[in-house]
Amino acid sequence: EPEVTQTPSHQVTQMGQEVILRCVPISNHLYFYWYRQILGQKVEFLVSFYNNEISEKSEIFDDQFSVERPDGSNFTLKIRSTKLEDSAMYFCASSVATGGDTFGSGTRLTVV
């Protein structure tokens, strides 16, 4: 069964550093997403991406964050100047035009 692949599974970074989280969405999906889930809290939408541009973003997704689809398969989330409160599980997801999202297994980001 097709799956969304995320790397790395766990990333530890020092406060103030930049991190790039990587995702390979399902190949025939058209919409790509990043979500985050702080431990014990709900899943929060960050951004959606369609046709090589951001289609929707939340208030969380400020200038610290950026997304890119550098080639035909990868989808990345860059977090600049990380803060302690950025520590969370980050999920990539993808979908076709209708139906729900298929989530990757996530990247646990720990900022120390």
Partner 1 sequence: QKEVEQNSGPLSVPEGAIASLNCTYSDRGSQSFFWYRQYSGKSPELIMFIYSNGDKEDGRFTAQLNKASQYVSLLIRDSQPSDSATYLCAVKGGYQKVTFGTGTKLQVIP
> Interface with partner 1 by CB under 8 A: which residues?
31, 33, 35, 41-45, 48, 50, 55-58, 91, 98-106
- Closer CB to partner 1, residue 14 or residue 99? 99
9 by Cβ neighbours in 10 Å (0-12 / 13-18 / 19+) ranks as exposed
Residues contacting 72, CB < 8 A, separation 6+: none
- Closer CB to partner 1, residue 10 or residue 17? 10
- Least separation in angstroms between CB 36 and partner 1: 11
- Least separation in angstroms between CB 2 and partner 1: 13
SS3 label, residue 42 = coil
CB 96 within 8 Å of CB 29: yes
CB 48 within 8 Å of CB 57: yes
- Least separation in angstroms between CB 86 and partner 1: 19
- Closer CB to partner 1, residue 53 or residue 63? 53
